[in-house]
Structure 1
Amino acid sequence: MTPLMYLIIAVVAIVFMVGSVFLLRRSEDDPLAVRIDEFAAREEIVSIEEIELSLPFTDRVFVPMIRRISEFLVRYTPQKTLESTTRLLELAGNPRNMRAADFIVVRGVFTVMLAALIFLMMTRLGSAELNRRLLYTLGAAILGWYLPWMLLRSMVDRRKDAIIKKLPDALDLMTICVDAGLTFNAAMQKVDEKWDDPLANEFGRVIHEMQLGKSRRQSLRDMSDRMDVPDVTSFIAAVLQADQLGVGIGKILRIQSEQMRVRRRQRAEEKAQQAPVKMLFPMVFLIFPSIFVVLLGPAGFQMLRSDSLGGVTG
């Protein structure tokens, strides 16, 4: 096999693992509940085999394998590591209902897979000494261990950004609903029905938890902890304080909505002020050299040509 084939196999394997395990953009609905509703709507009776075969290939093959390995590794993993990983998965929206032990298994799989691929490629090429091959393999193992963690951190950042951008619009809708005579719970339900984003899904989860018997106060606090966004934390604190003091919720929503719009405008202005600084590097090192080549290139070639002709005639 050629080195190009090894490179293609490595890229395909990494992309396959990332796509199969990190389907990060998922619906917040419980997959089991959704599947139960789908089969309950059917008129004919389906067998267990049909239900299992209807599951995606990753859910039938990779997920059970990861679960079994994680159940073994969780006994030897420090509790602090499990807690920090669980917290990070919670902030990321709990992708694919992954547990902390499952995520640790995924990191181990990435580490072994990437290290093995790099070692095999270097061995097949035979262009490096053993020490250098081991060094490259160690670097690939470190990259494979931290790559899932970096992907998860980027998920957390994207989710927080989406929540911050959507919060003013959600508060505007809730203010309109409350002014129209709906309760605060009904306003949250309207937000969940209108949009499909992390913030709307969190409001829907709060409604679902209250239907199961949890108090609204505790449900909102849990929602604030799951998102860890300062704007959401201040909004939840204001709502809980208004609920405790008996203040009208419509007035609180209107004030919070105005504050969130002001903060969003301030963040946009701050990013606009940072744009020239961020554009400096690509302009100096990428755009300007290209312009100089286009403008001065013909003149330079003309000068070289004239010098060569002068030397020949002289």
Structure 2
Amino acid sequence: MLDQLLLVRGIGLLMVTLSISLVSYLLIFRLKRPAKAMVPEGAPVAVSAVAGSRSMEWLSPARKYLLPADEKEQISVSRRLLQAGFDQEQASLVYHALKALLALVFGVLLLLLHPWLPGDLPEYPELVAMIGAAFGLFLPSKLLDSFRQRRQQQLIAGMPQLLDMLLICLSAGLSLPRALERVQSELRLAHPLMAGEVAGVSAELNAGVTPDAALHRFAERAGLQEVRGLVGTLIEAHRYGANLSDTLRDYTQDFRAIRLHRADLQAAKVSTRLVFPMVTCIWPGFFVVVVGPAILRMLEAFAG
């Protein structure tokens, strides 16, 4: 009986290992853009999306069972995936499939391991399985938010260089498509993610897409207020025939002022954030070093 029980637990652990490996493979190698081995450098975003999603067509029959019925929720999830860098056609379907898979795996795992859980949990196997399933549903959402936040931080880091180089190119008399091509080649080493986004916009413009549509797609992929402001500035200047370099210079000054203001806010919060580590880590050691010898001498004096 014990051998059979251990066999069942071993099969459960094997299922978890295989599932986690599958999740890592799908997230990192199949859905993440760009697919360098399949798409040439500088290719339009639509090309990389099609090339990266062909291997996920086997999930299409399960679409009606996996995708949520609410259309607004589908749009919200698709936007989060796009801003996290998963812009393939089947990304939303794969995301919900992973949630269902992890819910099943963690629910079965905790159900198999519930006799060894502490407290009164071994007496409620159904509750343990539900907790595991809830954790499996919650984990992909947290991972997606982490990917999205990290990608947006990388884009924010490349914004100052993008604005400066774009302003220089436009002031030198280059058109917007030629300026974007020059900027993406200069940013490729320092900020490859921003360079890839700019290259996508440039490729769409060269393919005949209107500047408004190409820039709006860039803002939607970034999901940042700073990028939306830049896109809105460029679109308005292009639509009304204003001087792009002068308009961009004004926006750059405003962007730097906002960036400096945010840095001042972060610096003002440092003293408050340091209270807890000082009270729990620094001050006890300080009192031990400074007051400890005096207390020992007082004890020796009273004892003598």
Count of aligned residue pairs for this structure pair: 283
Relative to structure 1, the CA distance from residue 9 to residue 232 in structure 2 (aligned partners, 3 Å threshold; closer, same or farther) is same
* Residue matched to 2:48: none
How far 1:202 sits from its partner (Å)? 1.9
Normalising by structure 2, report the TM-score: 0.75
How far 1:12 sits from its partner (Å)? 5.3
Contact (CA 8 Å) 1:89, 1:98: kept in 2 or not? no
Relative to structure 1, the CA distance from residue 247 to residue 72 in structure 2 (aligned partners, 3 Å threshold; closer, same or farther) is closer
Could you say what secondary structure the match of 1:19 adopts? helix
Q: Within 5 A, what are the aligned runs for 1:204-283?
A: 204-283=199-278
Paired letter, 1:33: V
Give CA deviations for 1:52-77 in whole Å, capped at 9, x if unaligned. Answer: xxxxxxx97xx566x25643525774
Contact (CA 8 Å) 2:121, 2:128: kept in 1 or not? no
Contact (CA 8 Å) 2:180, 2:199: kept in 1 or not? yes
Q: Within 5 A, what are the aligned runs for 1:1-314?
A: 16-23=21-28, 26-28=32-34, 32-34=38-40, 67=59, 70-71=62-63, 73-74=65-66, 77-94=69-86, 98-123=90-115, 130-194=122-186, 195=188, 196-292=191-287
How far 1:149 sits from its partner (Å)? 0.4
Relative to structure 1, the CA distance from residue 100 to residue 250 in structure 2 (aligned partners, 3 Å threshold; closer, same or farther) is same
Unaligned runs of 5+ in 2: 1-5, 44-53
How far 1:200 sits from its partner (Å)? 2.4
Contact (CA 8 Å) 1:165, 1:264: kept in 2 or not? no
How far 1:262 sits from its partner (Å)? 2.2
Paired letter, 1:121: L
How far 1:168 sits from its partner (Å)? 1.7
Relative to structure 1, the CA distance from residue 288 to residue 8 in structure 2 (aligned partners, 3 Å threshold; closer, same or farther) is farther
How far 1:305 sits from its partner (Å)? 9.7
Paired letter, 1:282: P
Contact (CA 8 Å) 1:122, 1:133: kept in 2 or not? yes
How far 1:121 sits from its partner (Å)? 2.0
CA RMSD of aligned residues (A): 4.0
How far, CA to CA, are the matches of 1:177 and 1:165 in structure 2? 20
Relative to structure 1, the CA distance from residue 287 to residue 126 in structure 2 (aligned partners, 3 Å threshold; closer, same or farther) is closer
Contact (CA 8 Å) 2:205, 2:211: kept in 1 or not? yes
How far, CA to CA, are the matches of 2:13 and 2:285 in structure 1? 32
How far 1:291 sits from its partner (Å)? 4.6
**Percent sequence identity over matched residues?**
22
How far 1:275 sits from its partner (Å)? 1.5
Unaligned runs of 5+ in 1: 38-58
How far, CA to CA, are the matches of 2:299 and 2:112 in structure 1? 49
How far 1:93 sits from its partner (Å)? 2.0
Contact (CA 8 Å) 1:6, 1:121: kept in 2 or not? no
